[in-house]
Amino acid sequence: MTNRPQVLRTVTALRRAMAPYRKAGQSKSGFGIALVPTMGALHAGHLKLVAEAKKRARRVVVSIFVNPTQFAPTEDFGSYPRTFETDMKALTALKVDAVWAPTAAEMYPEGFATRVAPEGAALAGLEDKFRPHFFGGVATVVTKLFTQVSPDFAMFGQKDYQQLRVVTQMAKDLDLPLKVIGIPTVREKDGLALSSRNVYLSDAERAVAPTLHRVLKASAQRIKRGEPIEMVMEEGASDIRHAGFALDYLEARHALSLKPIASVKDGPIRLLVAAKIGKTRLIDNLGV
């Protein structure tokens, strides 16, 4: 019989549950604790993070918390998909040890007054330009998740590439004793990056959604061949708009600092895109 992961709802219960995990993790046969932070509505991309976590750590904790502080009042916090029982079935099948699922009142109790304000990659003019509140909310909740669970590893998808850079730098800057690990994006057969928000797409929108990956792939090949970055980005932007998207950005950036980059000679390049199809905002990225 498969055991359901234990579900922890309070910081006290979480700490109590983590103590034996930590001891087991320090034994010769163990490699500590890995945390997979999520907002639930789990898809194959999340399950890949869990599978990678299991390769590295003896105990795997998945957090499920739809974090209100990273949504603007105009965004989809209320309608964000919440599928706890289905998520639990998937995590049970993967033999996850524990699910950390606090309420908003447990995470942000009455009187909560502290915020982590990341700079650097968090102010790169990409997601932050369109969602100015986003990285403050993410950095605050991720810092809390890290201090609550005290994992040795934390797994993040490369799909949210700017978030991965921000969290990696934050863990370093705050001397948090864990390794942040970025895991490649899982895609549908036609290239569309898996995302909990893909459920919002109508059939017609779903049909054009893979344009983003197609343009990223073609642009990366052209830049590798030596074509001028600015021209490649302009033509890529035009293809995305012609497909029916409202484009927020298509940018070539330094893969680590996320600063603008003019040539392949100036360092590794990451192409990043965000665009709206109908009411759904999609993001994606690709290394050159």
Q: How far is the CB of 89 from ligand PAF (least distance, A)?
A: 19
Give which of 39, 35, 103, 116 is closest to 71, Cα–Cα. 39
Q: Does 38 bind ligand PAF (CB under 6 A)?
A: yes
- Of 43, 46, 213, 242, the catalytic one is 46
**Rg, C-alpha atoms of the chain:** 19
**Stretch of 135-143, 172-180, 197-205, 266-274 lying at the interface with ligand PAF (CB under 6 A):** 135-143
189, 196 contact by CB (below 8 A):
no
Among residues 52, 128, 160, 251, which is the contact residue for ligand PAF, using CB under 6 A? 160
* Interhelix angle 211-224/229-242, nearest 10 degrees: 160
Q: How far is the CB of 262 from ligand PAF (least distance, A)?
A: 30
Among residues 8, 116, 141, 215, which is the contact residue for ligand PAF, using CB under 6 A? 141
Q: How far is the CB of 67 from ligand PAF (least distance, A)?
A: 4
Among residues 5, 25, 32, 37, which is the contact residue for ligand PAF, using CB under 6 A? 37
Q: How far is the CB of 8 from ligand PAF (least distance, A)?
A: 16
The DSSP H or E segment spanning 179 is strand 179-183
Give which of 271, 218, 270 is closest to 243, Cα–Cα. 218
Give which of 163, 159, 157 is closest to 126, Cα–Cα. 163
Our answer to whether residue 46 is catalytic in this structure is: yes
**Stretch of 23-31, 137-145, 237-245, 279-287 lying at the interface with ligand PAF (CB under 6 A):** 137-145
**Stretch of 33-41, 249-257, 262-270, 273-281 lying at the interface with ligand PAF (CB under 6 A):** 33-41
The DSSP H or E segment spanning 277 is strand 269-277
Say how many C-beta atoms besides its own lie within 10 A of residue 118's C-beta: 22
Which positions are annotated as active-site residues? 46
